[in-house]
Amino acid sequence: MFAFHNPVNRRVFLKGGALSLVTLGLSPSFLRRTALAMELPRAVRGKTLIVLFQRGAADALNVLVPFGDRNYYAARPQLAIATPARVGSSANAGGAIDLDGFYGLHPSLASFKALWDRGLLAPIHAVGSPSATRSHFDAQDYMETGTPDRKGTTDGWLNRYLAVEGTCEASSCAPGATPGATPFRAVAMTAQTPRILEGASPVVAMNSIDEFSIRTNGGEAQRRIEALYRTGSSDLVHGSGSDMFEALKVLRAANPQQYRPAAGVAYPRSQFGQRLLQIAQLIKSGVGLEVAFADVGGWDTHVNQGGAQGQLATRLGDFSQSIAALVADLGDRMEEVVILTCSEFGRTVRQNGTGGTDHGHAGAMFVIGGSLRSAQKVHGRWPGLAPEQLYEGRDLALTTDFRAVFSEIASKHLGATQLPKIFPGYGGFEKEWLGVL
């Protein structure tokens, strides 16, 4: 299914002949328009932000391994990732992949090491929400709205960015950015609009590009439906129908269904891998994509988490290989693309009695792109894992507010100038930025 989403959730279902099922989320802002181009944002400044959410609280300590802190091994006798193997030694073959002599990557993140070596990968440790909650629902909500401990926020921070920041005019567009209406300024590769993109600005959410297209065995069925929309009364069906067909027209012109990845690039066949492939399709098809979102679950590892192998390792392998394929596929376009990974919180420092870890506090992020400021640097201040250094005596302490990362990317990459409107209640901004970009 696909959907144009805004707060109104009423939908129209059409089915006829060889016509596939079409689902529309209808929006008052769409219905007020007499023509799509009057209110839709113009094409982007040539930059794209891809946000990837690891739902379930990824274990930061086994993702970005602090092997230089001896307390890490004392707290995780079975789950800890071994220290990196010495060059030419077979010992610790499943150990962490050394980055800087203190931090290493989980061995399943081997495809990230090449990005690190090329200066395309910026890990951030001890980062997350200042909220004390250990509720998945609340923590995800706070991170996606950008307002920790404020449950009344109605929109997501990425939608606020889209709503308050202007888009390029013909005289100010970056090279390669064409002014004009684009229904695909913000796309979520999800069944429903994620919290981070809820709000006043139009957003497209879809499981896949193929499902977005109206498929028929011939042109006549589609022409009959288009005629229905053109001649219908000015009701919900008619109002949203013009938007749908305008979007379909843009997609057909770009023809991303005929897309083939770059030579030698093979995306994993997982749902996550295929969604990243389709984000590449949209970027390279020139539909004006500025913000893309995808998420992946399975990170809530209370039981049988595993160490160098096991449940978490398998998840990390698919995650990193999918992202590495996206980077390779985009090639030189990565100069204009930033990929941000995040999870609602980390996990406890000590392993539990069922071979897993429980809900924690600070976590880890990765920023990937061609415009990083400091190559081969792990960002964020390390708080330590000694018992007296832990948050509430059990968790990795927070040293970087997630809003510092989000706002730096919004400003330096997307060109946002109205940060207080995008992150209300936050006063950090430049003074807390890490200098990632």
Q: What percent of the chain has pLDDT over 70?
A: 76
Mean pLDDT, all residues of the chain:
83
Q: What is the mean pLDDT of residues 11-16?
A: 29
Q: What is the pLDDT of residue 358?
A: 98
Q: How many CB atoms lie within 10 A of CB 145?
A: 25
For 157-180, what is each residue's pLDDT tens digit? 999 999 998 665 555 555 544 444
Q: What is the pLDDT of residues 386-435, one digit of tens each?
A: 999 999 999 999 999 999 999 999 999 999 999 999 999 999 999 999 99
pLDDT in tens, 367-379: 999 989 877 999 9
Nearest-10 crossing angle of helices 311-330, 110-117: 40
In this prediction the pTM is: 0.84
pLDDT at 145 > cutoff 80:
yes
The token duo for 238 is: 């008619």
| pLDDT tens digits for range 229-274 | 454 433 333 334 456 666 777 777 777 777 899 999 999 999 999 9
- pLDDT exceeds 90 at position 9: no
Per-residue confidence (pLDDT) for residue 45, from 0 to 100: 60
Q: Give the residue with greater pLDDT, 186 vs 45.
A: 186
Three-state DSSP state, 364: strand
Query: Which of 397, 433, 411 is closest to 128 using CA atoms?
Result: 397
What pLDDT shows up at residue 132? 98
Question: What is the fold, at CATH topology level, of the domain defined by 42-219+267-432?
Answer: Alkaline Phosphatase, subunit A (3.40.720)
Using pLDDT thresholds of 50, 70 and 90, give the confidence band for residue 91. low
Q: Report the C-alpha gap between 14 and 17 in whole angstroms.
A: 10
Residues 338 and 369 sit within 8 Å (Cβ to Cβ): yes
Cα dihedral: 135, 140, 145, 149 (round 10)? 20
Contact of 407 with 429, CB cutoff 8 Å = yes
pLDDT at 225 over 80: no
Q: Are 153 and 145 within 8 A, CB to CB? A: yes
Calculate mean pLDDT across residues 98-102. 97
Q: Output b/e per residue, 303-337; b: 16+ Cβ within 10 A.
A: eebbbbebbbbebbbbbbbbbbbbbbbbeebbebb
Is the pLDDT at 320 greater than 60? The verdict is yes
Q: Which two tokens stand for residue 243?
A: 């938007």
**Could you tell me which of 319, 370, 386, 342 has the C-alpha nearest to residue 120?**
370
